[in-house]
Structures are given as C-alpha cells and as structure tokens.
Structure 1
Amino acid sequence: MLKEFKNFIMTGNVIEFAVAVIMAGAVGLVVNGFVADIIMPVVGHFAGGMDFANLKIILTESTGVQGEPGYVAENAIRWGAWVNTLVNLLIVGFVMFVIVKAYNKTKTPPAPPAPKGPSQEDLLAEIRDLLKKQ
C-alpha cells in the first residue's frame, strides 16, 4: 500500500497540482495587495475620498478599554471589507479568464479527420456491377 501511495504522489498530475496550489496562493497575495493598495484607493478617491475597508454598520459599540477586565469588543457588519473582497474576486476571475484564453490559443487545434472514401464492400459492389455490364 505504501508503494502504491508513493507511485500516486510521484505522478505528474499530483506534482503539477501541488505547484498550481502554491502558485494560486502567491497570486492571491499579489491580487490582494493590488486591490488593497492600488485599486481601492483609486475607487475611494472617485467615491468622495472614502476608505471602503473601514466602512461598517455597528451593531454593538465596544465598552471598556481593550486589555482590561470587562472589555467587550465592537460588533459590526464590515461591508466595506466585503466590497474589497468582491473586487478581488472580479480581478482574479478576469486574470484567470485571460490566462485560460491565452492557454487555449497556444494549443494546436486537432487535425481534421481524414476524409473517408467508400468502404471495401462498396468498392467490391461497384466492381461487380461493372463486370456485369461487360
């Protein structure tokens, strides 16, 4: 069983999948940085100077001082952070679309099937008919 597992792990598909997962994590970090540091400040500028990451609906105010006994943290719906996440999703989706489209262009189209001529039986029937005419 251990030998079978080793063979499974060492196949190309598993290794390629592992590399793809690691690359996806790295691309995710790059996209998050791009959205948070470049896209959202521009969007916020054109939306009147607001920072979407800090937009929230406070359900319960915090009470006390953080780190002291009796402190209760703020309870809020952070909808601005969710907007940032949606922008991340759109950018990642667009990047994946472009990558898949470019990959599909690099693939060679399958060769068209060779034209099929008449079957052997059709040829023999044609020869028979020609011989009958003579």
Structure 2
Amino acid sequence: MPEKEIKGIKKFFEEFKAFAMRGNVLDMAVGVVVGGAFTAIVTALVDDVINPLIGLFFKADFSDVVISLGGSSIKIGEFVNSVINFLIVAFVLFVVIKFINGLHKKPAAPAAPAEPTTKVCPYCQTEIPIKAVRCPHCTSKLEGFPEINA
C-alpha cells in the first residue's frame, strides 16, 4: 500500500477518534444506554404490574378481535392492544418523569424587595413617610420638593 494512502487512513481514524470522544457523542451514547434500560423498567412495570391490575376490573386483551374480509383477516384487536399499551406506557413515563423533575426543583427566586414607604429625614434622622415634604418631627423643609401653595 502506498504511504500516501496509509497516511490518509491514519488521518481518517484520527478524525473519527476525535469525533467519537467528543463530549456530545459520549453523552448521547450514555443517554441511549440509560434510555434502553429505562425502557425495560417501564415495560416491566406496565406488563407485570399495571396490566394485571387493569385485568382485575375488565378484560384488557383484545387480541381475539378480528375482522375477516374476503379470506383475509384484519387483526384490529392487536392494534387496539398496542394503542392501549402505548397509552399506559406514555402515562407511566409521564408520571415517573414528573416525579423525577419534582426532585430536581430549583429553589424559588427571592421576591423583589418592596418599594420603600418611608425615608429618613436628613436633618433629625427620624423615619418619615416617603411622600412627606416637611419632617413632622423637626419641621424642616425637605430638599427636592417644590413649595406647596395651599
């Protein structure tokens, strides 16, 4: 094999290694593996716990329902079973994720401080209403307010 082709193959594998070892790809791989394991857990919960509980109250197996048309059969019952199983799995998954998200709630943001309703008189240091034009304690005229002619 010519040396140029060997360098090209080495470069290709180096690029692949850099791609495969990037954080996003590894995170995705871990997510797929954990998702597969979680799917097995949810499927076991639905098949082994929830479906038998539903079976206590009414017949949940519709696999016997078949529509025959001209020699061929449409297994509508299998489809109904699949839809029911999907809805149960989706509901269980929703409840589990809602529970997990509840465990990871962020603390509530602190409330914004309320608007001040009082201020301190710069002359006598008495606390007075914020809209006061004169201090009721020392009767000083406060700065920043026009004279009120009443």
TM-score normalised by length of structure 2: 0.52
Look up the match of 1:88: 89
How far off is 1:95 after superposition? Answer: 1.4
Q: 1:31 aligns to what?
A: 42
Q: CA deviation at 1:41?
A: 1.1
| CA distance in 1 between partners of 2:46 and 2:104 (Å) | 25
RCO greater where, 1 or 2, for CA within 8 Å and sep 6 or more? 1
Structure 2 Cα separation of the partners of residues 25 and 93 of structure 1: 17
8 A contact 2:20–2:26 mirrored in 1: yes
SS where residue 67 of structure 2 aligns? strand
1:4 to 15, 18, 39: 15
Question: Paired residues, what number?
Answer: 95
Match of 1:58 in 2: 66
Over the matched positions of the two proteins, sequence identity in percent amounts to: 27
Q: Is the Cα–Cα contact under 8 Å of residues 63 and 75 in structure 2 kept in the other structure?
A: no
Return the alpha-carbon distance in structure 1 between the equivalents of residues 36 and 75 of structure 2: 28
Structure 2 distance, partners of 1:56, 1:100, is 40
Unaligned runs of 5+ in 1: 64-71, 111-134
Query: Match of 1:34, as an amino acid?
Result: L
Aligned-residue offset at 1:75: 2.6
Structure 2: segments with no counterpart, 5+ residues: 1-10, 110-150
Q: How does 1:1-134 map to 2 (within 5 A)?
A: 2=12, 3-47=14-58, 50=59, 52-55=60-63, 57-60=65-68, 74-77=73-76, 78=78, 79-105=80-106
* Distance change (3 Å), C-alpha of 1:102 and 1:5: farther
**What is the TM-score with the length of structure 1 in the denominator?**
0.57
Answer 1 or 2: which has greater helix percent: 1
- The Cα RMSD (Å) is 2.8
Question: Computing the radius of gyration over CA atoms, which structure comes out larger, 1 or 2?
Answer: 2
